Amino acid sequence: MPTIDDLSQRLTEYLEPDQINLVRRAYFYAEQAHDGQRRKSGEPYVTHPLAVASILANMHMDHPSLISAMLHDVIEDTEINYQGISEQFGQSVADIVDGVSKLTHLEFETRAEAQAENFQKMVLAMAEDIRVIIVKLSDRLHNMRTLGAMPPEKQRRIARETLDIYAPVAARLGMRDLQVELEDLAFQAYHPMRAKYIRRAVVKARGQRKDVISSIEKAIDNRLKMEGLQGSVTGREKHLYSIYKKMKTQRKAFVDIMDVFAFRVVTESVDDCYRVLGVVHNLYKPVPGRFKDYIAIPKANGYQSLHTDLFGAKDITIEVQIRTREMDAVASQGIAEHSHYKVYGDSDSAVGSYNRARKWVKGLLEMQERAGDSMEFIEHVKKDLFPDEVYVFTPKGRILELPKGATPIDFAYAVHTDVGNSCVSCRIDRRLAPLSQPLESGQTVEIITTPRAQPNMAWLNFVVTGKARSSIRHFLKNQQRHESVELGRRLLNQFLSNYGTSLEYVDPEKLGELLKEAELKSLQDLLEDIGMGNRMAYVVARRLKPDTTEEDTPTKSKGKPIAIKGVEGVVLQYARCCHPIPGDAIVGYISAGKGMVVHRTDCGNLGAMRDDPERCIYLEWSGSDKDEYPVVLMLEVESQRGIIANLASAVTEAGANLLKIDSGEHEGQIYKVQMDLAVNNRVHLAAVIKKLRRLRAVLKIIRP
């Protein structure tokens, strides 16, 4: 069992004596605070914070992080509070401990909502100080190492949570060593039999591969010496969860994965990396299309390295990674390697990793603000936690990293939220392309915007980034609220006009009582409820009417019909059954939770509802004739060659837009044709019908 003396001895490598004394003081403080408490394994509780601090010491974390690790459970499990820690060890330590304490329940929560809620807390704590998540990940790692003391069901729950949240977060922050161990421990707890068989197969394969690995290692090492290049060559072991994931997702047999031999060359400088690449390409033939330069274009988590695949002897494939010592340290520890936490040196790679981590956390905060609830937020974040990146360019040459499968819409939101919201089309490598087309590395993407544009709900079917998804949903929610409030205001004013008043002159006391009774916070919420059809405008109007007015409620609205304008919105929809267009007599049917659906007054689907003043509101058209509205025409035509082309031509000549044409059943030489058009108004439709009637083959035209 490690002791505080062992840890203190190791800390002499990089900390000052007074800093080590502070860490020792924190240990004894924690020991006293946790006195009498024991872990599930039966050990004194203080062994856990000591082990967490030991994990951080392996990463050479600064002394406030080590002190925080010692005290990370003190606020949660003892009577000591934030103030007490702040007075003893300073505000910086108290903030980290407080941040980690807020996440403690995440250890044992099983409900998805609670997990999501706590993950939101983790993001806020990370935004305050990135060291919070490093301490938390180390805490989770030690808990995973000692998971055997838990009941099997709890082991599986914690393991699943580790694979879903903690390991991907470690990967996103570039902390590969910690990520690999978390994944393997969680895999063994969640799938013990699968882990056992894969481990057994790996041990067996390792023995058979020993000679091949050492001969390749020797060959690369000798060639480097011949060229006068410094570099250490080592074989890389594939970890269990990585093998299992490849077998599952790529549907590969174990033998196919183990047939690839992996090596790493660590050298001194970036220049040497590229020279070593030339040496290994001279030694073994490279596999075309399998070279990746993550030095020039680092991964999103700051990872830098050269990757190349080579054809070896006897039909074996060799994977080689080439990087500097600095890059190797950052690849293992990610943001934990950042010099901000070190008392020595500076590292461009580590700074890059830290800055990317900060940028990611900032993006998470933006998503959190836009998400409706914690479940929606965690759904967005999980998409960002499993990226297989593509690298694309802006027209000015800036590189953006996006997850695999990302579309121009994702690209637009990655540039800026306003660019995404006003996007109408795009050019990929200077050619117009669909907004749903998946992007590929190396492409140049140009987004075309217009001030009048707005996000489309259909985009949610193909966007993959959390930022794009949350921004689109946020915009649509805001748009829906704005439209609902506006419609609610107009409906309420119409019914209030029956009592000779309007919303401006309503008694504030009556309004306050109504809001309190309805458990609504503001007038805006009330109007939104009315606009969405969840609350009847005539009922609200009756409650708010002046006391001098008679009690009777009119059965028909005496006020002027509500004027509608523009195309379909979120809470104002045009019925698909009768396709109303400007010029038609129309009525609005208020549907609970959906808003208002506009029908023609002669629509057969309205039936008895037409005379219901509570749900049916008489409307009139207002606004410009520039908008297009869909309309359906049913035609009976004589069968003759080229009739469909003639019909389409007639519609085009009349200035209408043909959306769809179907030639259906026929009786003898007579065909029934359905045409879906887009017109401006009834006058425009009349012109289209007139043009169609001039065709001799057209026998009958009906607008259903």
Of 269, 299, 199, 274, the residue nearest 240 (C-alpha): 199
> Residues 671-697: what's their mean pLDDT?
91
> Residues 264-293: what's their mean pLDDT?
92
CA atoms within 13 A on the CB side of 172: 25
Q: Residue 190 and residue 188: Cα distance in Å, rounded?
A: 6
Is the Cβ–Cβ distance between 391 and 294 less than 8 Å? no
> Residues 475-488: what's their mean pLDDT?
81
Residue 212 makes CB contacts below 8 A (sequence gap 6+) with 261, 316
**150: how many CB neighbours lie within 10 A of its CB?**
18
Q: pLDDT at residue 344 above 80? A: no
> Residues 284-294: what's their mean pLDDT?
89
> Residues 461-465: what's their mean pLDDT?
89
Give tens-digit pLDDT for 616-628.
777 888 765 667 8
Q: Residue 511 and residue 486: Cα distance in Å, rounded?
A: 18
Residue 478 makes CB contacts below 8 A (sequence gap 6+) with none
- pLDDT in the model for residue 51: 93
Q: pLDDT at residue 520 above 90? A: no
Judged by average pLDDT, the poorest of 90-104, 348-362, 639-653 is: 348-362
**Using 50, 70 and 90 to split pLDDT, how confident is the model at 631?**
very high
The single residue of 77, 217, 614, 628 carrying the catalytic annotation is 77
Bridge pairing between strands 572-574 and 595-600: parallel
Bridge partners (DSSP) listed for residue 223: none
Q: pLDDT at residue 348 above 70? A: no
Known active-site residue 76: yes
- Name the one residue in this structure whose structure tokens are 């994944």: 183
The single residue of 76, 109, 319, 486 carrying the catalytic annotation is 76
Phi, psi of 562 (to 5 degrees): -70, 135
CA angle at 514 for the pair 513 and 516, rounded to the nearest 5°? 65
Between 654 and 477, the higher pLDDT residue: 654
Three-state secondary structure call for residue 569: coil
Known active-site residue 401: no
- pLDDT in the model for residue 27: 92
- pLDDT in the model for residue 341: 42
**Using 50, 70 and 90 to split pLDDT, how confident is the model at 339?**
very low
